[in-house]
Amino acid sequence: MIKKQIKNLIYSIMVFLFFSCNNFPSNQKPNNLIDEETMEKILFEATMMDVMNTFSEKNPDFLRLFGVNYFYQKYGIDSIQLIQSDKYYSKNPRIYYRIYKKVLDKMQMQKDSIDRLIDTK
């Protein structure tokens, strides 16, 4: 299960990197930059939702309820702000690494928590 989560996280990273590629050499901080902590939450939830999306056949309302618009409403952001923030962080690998390290740590904590629940039953 963790291998699938890691695979999905790598997929998410590749998608974000794809959107962050552009021809602009500028590395200026955007005016509406999403802070690191919020970006971490968004990336974690996006990864978890990507994993949960495999169960969408069981709940046809999943995508409608928890699609992309969910992030925009929950965090009060829009798609341009998310893309600009991702571009900025991707051009600052130390910051981006720090964000993704926290996401991976959080995923590991979730896995450990589920493993403990399974072991107690």
* Domain limits, the chain: 2-22+35-116
Name the more confident of 79 and 62: 79
Predicted confidence at residue 48, as pLDDT, reads: 83
How many angstroms separate the Cα of 46 from the Cα of each of 7, 68, 75, 117? 13, 9, 12, 24
Predicted confidence at residue 36, as pLDDT, reads: 95
d(CA 46, CA 100): 12
Say whether pLDDT at 93 is over 80.
yes
3-state secondary structure 40-89: HHHHHHHHHHHHHHHHCCCCCCHHHHHCHHHHHHHHCCCHHHHHHHHHHH
Q: 17: closest CA among 81, 83, 69?
A: 83
Predicted confidence at residue 100, as pLDDT, reads: 92
Predicted confidence at residue 69, as pLDDT, reads: 79
Q: How confident is the model at residue 115 (pLDDT cuts 50, 70, 90)?
A: confident
How many angstroms separate the Cα of 91 from the Cα of each of 34, 44, 60, 98, 113? 15, 20, 38, 13, 34
d(CA 74, CA 83): 17
Could you report the per-residue pLDDT of 10-57, keeping only the tens digit for each? 666 766 666 665 554 567 889 999 999 999 999 998 888 777 766 656
Looking at residue 101, the DSSP 8-state letter turns out to be: H
Name the more confident of 61 and 118: 118
